Structure 1
Amino acid sequence: MHWYVDVLKKYAVFSGRARRQEYWMFFLFNLIIAIVLAILGRAMGTSILSGLYSLAVLLPGLGVAVRRLHDTDRSGWWILIGLIPLVGAIILIVFLASEGKREPNQYGPNPKLAPAV
């Protein structure tokens, strides 16, 4: 759960690097919360809960995705490749799932080697 909270603390931070674990744990918790809110909204006959939640986590989700791309030594603008139907989403998933560069790059030091704060 701390991976999810850490991403929320960096609400609109688009600089630096993010580990695979940070991105995918945020994705997992985000998915679980969205499903629970969708079920609750369906039971209540409204979709306002999931809509508000999606709006609230839009910037943190984009931020962690951009930082994840930075870890693979790609510009954050590569996130736009996901707009290409089908093929773009597959390429973006491959980028997000690939291992980050071990050495420091233009976006910062390796987050795996960074001391825990």
Structure 2
Amino acid sequence: MSNQQWGPAPQNPDPYQQPYQQAQGQPGPYGQQGQPGPYSQQSPYGQQNPYGQSPYAPAPYGAMPGPGGGRPRPSVGFGRAVQLFFKNYAVFNGRASRSEYWWVVLFNGLIGLVFGIFAAVMAASAVASIPTDPYDPNYDPNAAVAGISGGLIFMYIILGIWSLAILVPSIAIAVRRFHDTDKSGWFYLLSLIPGGSIVVLILLAMPSVPQAWQRYDTGKLPVES
């Protein structure tokens, strides 16, 4: 008996093609949607693939890699800058804003000016106390020079002690200012070569770089208050 009266024979699906189609999310032979494959970005539960984003992507600016890190350094006034200068006495990690640094430069400059004025006043007082009348029995032309020299030596000693006291924090805050511009603190050594101090001043006056914290906010960080 012929098979034509029963119609054409059904086409048997390829047993290897059907699982592949279902694995790729294509409809099967009965119109049913296949399950997502193992490499599909969409999970069987309709959730986004948790591995779609790289965990090694750089964190946005403002993230907190550690206590006190990641935030922009505060813009401070004169008094607070001096306070932070001494609180972060020997902290070479982290960053320092322009206001933190340049208010301290002004503070140290004023201290030096005060010492200079005080030395001049002491020298003037020493000269004024010396008799200028050549007929005065206490007149001594060399006493004025001795009085001025003694006053200056005393003031140089005080100024030297002060300079030693602020040496470490001055270097530390300069290094942190370099860090805030996304530069290594070793740039500070440029001040040791002729003309390098001008380059250092220019670099220290540059604006903050937002991404600098990713390199320099490590270890013990400077306090902000």
Deviates more, 1:43-52 or 1:71-80: 43-52
For the residues of structure 2 that align with 1:42 and 1:14, how far apart are their CA atoms? 37
Task: Report the equivalent of 1:52.
Answer: 161
Q: How does 1:1-117 map to 2 (within 5 A)?
A: 1-44=79-122, 45=151, 46=154, 47-86=156-195, 88-103=196-211, 104-108=213-217, 117=225
Alignment-derived partner of residue 38 in structure 2: none
What's the offset of the Cα at 1:40? 1.6
Q: Give the CA deviation at 1:43.
A: 3.3
Task: Name segments (4+ residues, structure 1) moved above 6 Å.
Answer: none
Question: CA RMSD, aligned part only?
Answer: 1.6
Q: State the Cα deviation string for residues 5-54 of structure 1 (Å, max 9, x = none).
A: 21111111111000000000000011101110222234331211211111
Report which structure shows greater RCO (CA 8 Å, sep ≥6). Answer: 1
TM-score under structure 2 length normalisation? 0.46
CA distance in 1, matches of 2:120, 2:83: 26
Quote the offset at 1:95 in angstroms: 0.6
Shift of 1:84: 1.2
Cα 1:49/1:62, change in 2 over 3 Å: same
Q: Unaligned stretches of 5+ in structure 1?
A: 110-115
Structure 2: stretches of 5+ with no match in the other structure: 1-78, 123-150, 219-223
What percent identity do the matched residue pairs reach? Answer: 43
**What is the CA deviation profile of residues 55-109 of structure 1, one whole-angstrom value per residue up to 9, with x for unaligned ones?**
11101100000000011111111100111112x1111011100011022330129
Q: How many pairs were matched up? A: 110
Matched residue SS, 1:41: helix
Q: TM-score, normalised by structure 1?
A: 0.86
Task: Give the match's secondary structure for 2:217.
Answer: coil
